C-alpha cells in the first residue's frame, strides 16, 4: 500500500465545531445502573462516531419520571446514601427508599456522576444533565429529541 493512499481518516473534534443536541429520556421502569450508564454515554459523546476523549462532544440529557426508577435485588432495602456534615460524628446515612421519597432526582444524579471520569471536563459535561421527578419539564427551549433506551 502506498504512503499516499489512506482511506480512513481519524476525526479529532475541536470544541468550536461541536453542536450539542438535547435528548429527553424517560426513567419509568428502568433499572438504575443500566439507565445511568446510557446517560453517561450520551453526556460524554461516546454515542457519536467522532468521540474525542479530550473534547466536549457530548449532548445534553433531560430525564423525566425520576421517581419511577427501579433497582434490582435487595438494593431497595439495603442501599444507603452517605454524606458527612462536617461535625464530629456527623456521618449521615439515608436509605434508598427514603431518598426516593425525598429527592428522587439525587438518586440518578449520584449514579451518573459516579460513572463519569473525575476531571474538569466531566464537571462541564454534567452541567448538561437535567433531572425531573414527574413528567413535566421546563427545558422546551433546548428542543429535546425523545429517545428510547
Pairwise CA distance, residues 47 & 20, whole Å = 13
Q: Read off the pLDDT of each residue in 63-71 and give the average, rounded to a whole number.
A: 97
Domains and CATH numbers, the chain: 19-146 (3.90.1180.10)
Q: Give the tens place of pLDDT for each residue, 125-140.
A: 999 999 999 999 999 9
- Burial class of residue 35 in the structure, from the number of CB atoms within 10 Å of its CB (0-12 exposed, 13-18 middle, 19+ buried): buried
Pairwise CA distance, residues 145 & 143, whole Å = 7
**Does an H or E element contain 60, and which?**
strand 60-64
- What's the pLDDT band for 2 if we cut at 50, 70, 90? low
Pairwise CA distance, residues 5 & 9, whole Å = 11
Q: Read off the pLDDT of each residue in 111-121 and give the average, rounded to a whole number.
A: 97
Residue-level pLDDT at 9:
81
All residues at 6 or more sequence positions from 33 whose CB lies less than 8 Å from its CB, including other chains: 71, 111
Q: What percent of the chain has pLDDT over 90?
A: 86
Amino acid at each position: 500500500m502506498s504512503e499516499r493512499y489512506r482511506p480512513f481518516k481519524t476525526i479529532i473534534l475541536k470544541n468550536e465545531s461541536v453542536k450539542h443536541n438535547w435528548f429527553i429520556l424517560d426513567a419509568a421502569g428502568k433499572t438504575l445502573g443500566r439507565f445511568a450508564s446510557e446517560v453517561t454515554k450520551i453526556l460524554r459523546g461516546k454515542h457519536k462516531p467522532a468521540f474525542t476523549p479530550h473534547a466536549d462532544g457530548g449532548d445534553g440529557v433531560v430525564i423525566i419520571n425520576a421517581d419511577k426508577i427501579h433497582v434490582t435485588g435487595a438494593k431497595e432495602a439495603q442501599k444507603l446514601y452517605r454524606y458527612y456534615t462536617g461535625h464530629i460524628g456527623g456521618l449521615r446515612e439515608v436509605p434508598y427508599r427514603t431518598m426516593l421519597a425525598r429527592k428522587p432526582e439525587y438518586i440518578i444524579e449520584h449514579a451518573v456522576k459516579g460513572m463519569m471520569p473525575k476531571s474538569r471536563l466531566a464537571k462541564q459535561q454534567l452541567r448538561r444533565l437535567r433531572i425531573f421527578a414527574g413528567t413535566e419539564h421546563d427545558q422546551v427551549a433546548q428542543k429535546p429529541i425523545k429517545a428510547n433506551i
